[in-house]
Chains A and B, each alone.
Chain A
Amino acid sequence: MDATDYFECLGFYASPNVNLADFFMDVIGGTVARNNDPGFTSADLFLFWKDWVVHANKPYFELEEEEGTAASSGGGNGGNRKQFERQSTGANQHNTTRGSSTYTFKPNQIEIVRRLFVEAMVIPGGAAERASFDASPSIKKEKDLHSFLRLVSQATMVGSITTHQSLALGLVVRTLFWVDGMTGHSLKQSMSQGSMGEMLKNMGEISQKTQKTNQSLQEIELSDQNATNVTSSSNGNGRVGVLNYSDLMFALSDGEILSEMMNIRLSQLMGRTASLNNNGADQKIPSSRPTHTIRERRFGCDYIFAQFVLYATRYALKRRRQFTTWLTELILFIFGAVLIGAITGP
């Protein structure tokens, strides 16, 4: 998304032949009216930008090409959209943009993931095992987890899910697999006990405290490259973790949880302390404000003349674009001179 898209999101549409840089400067200067916002002032741009910075890092904020019309029309996709939002629990402002992400999953894609999940599980033929599967389907072996991820890769190659979604799914699956095995309770249970921010924070703390997690996760990365070695070292069964089907579906259906899961995993891979909770009072707000302060720069005398030329050129171009307005003022001068001159006389 470039500057043109950003300003068009805000309701500023440049004419086809206009210089975009000048148009943006005019928007900043407040001389361009905002679409459907008669009370717009240029000072509002600060609020828009802050809001943009807050949401820019959210994966569901990235727009797909076809989602703009789908979100605005609410016609043919309305049923799927309602079904999709019904699965999410966070009743906040992100609901409207949740379906527009390149990471989040549409209902039909969640169904694909569900089938891959079932296919990856080794289901014995006994009636008791099938009954237990229906009760709480889950992947508890590392080998099965790898099988599931390979199936996801194949689905990505076929085109059933996008590469972004595949990457997000891999991050979320690995986070859920290890963390869930340590907490002992499911994602939904954690949600019901407290806010999502606290729950994710606890998950992050657990992952920090256990160095084994990092080591095992790194080994999983290695195992992706050489699955045979891992299989042999883990004695055929792999480490024990739990990836509940309900947790996976719960995470995939909610863009915010998906984002936080990805952050957990990315923080672990980057080897730094996971800062997961944006709502925590003791944590810094990660992206809602600029990370650097504006520093005043000192310029020499030679730069003053260059700045003078720069500003004069820029302002001359601006006046040139507003030549029609100036001509109107000139007509007023002519009209006033004729009128008052005739009244005053010699």
Chain B
Amino acid sequence: MSTVIETRGLGKKYGRRWALRDCTLAIPAGQVVGLVGPNGAGKSTLLHLAVGLRTPTLGVITVFGGRPADSPAQLGRAGFVAQDTPVYARLSVADHLRMGAWLNPDWDGELAARRIERLGLDPHQRAGSLSGGQRAQLALTLAIAKRPGLLILDEPVASLDPLARREFLQDLMEIVAEHEVSVVLSSHLIADLERVCDYLVVLIASQVQLAGEVSELLAEHRRLSGPRRDPGRLPASQEIVEETHTDKQSLLLIRTSEPILDPAWAVTPVSVEDLVLAYMRRAGSAGGARRPGLEVVS
């Protein structure tokens, strides 16, 4: 399976604080990858490293096998929609398309013009007066019209209202279907990602906690409920992600690739949201004592 982003031992330090630590990932091509985690977990840092806006403190990151932003060709391989979708407030929508055409050798002007027309944006309007949703659409247009192999979106819908959010994600899915582009998008809102992602990377407290195809992750994780039980007596193949015990009952979230044979358990599948929250809570309780300042927000 070919990969779009590969990292080995990747780390980024700001001052004395590690924003990302020991990150080893191989993100496969042809997927819509959701990067999820609480605010401040290092999602933006990882994406900025992937587009070359930042350089690693430790380790290596490659995009399509090359160092990000190393050359114009390498820059052309990744389209980026930055958080809060910055645009030049005083330039018009048409000016932005001109910029795209002038700065990107593979620019698809027809695609850009078609999208702007379909989105109902006025080419003469100043970008500074666009609504948040329109600005995000403009930023996405700029990113896709350079015809990259990989689209990277950093919290693209965080600042949008629910309707604009739904429209944006729908639009993104149409782009994926039409242009066969790989996508990595981050969000701290699991519901957004659940609808669109085939692959999930959970990043918490600057470390990758979980990565894999959504269907596999869902198949591997089970929620077990049954009479109270010592978790130490579970089969070795069952990794406990989360456990809650009352006097009589045990409630577990486990990861296993094997079937659950014990008839005492009531086995239910998990949702993406269950999964992510369980890993967040686990990382939060494990890291809570060491980093009391960390706030886990879902």
Chain A partners chain B: no
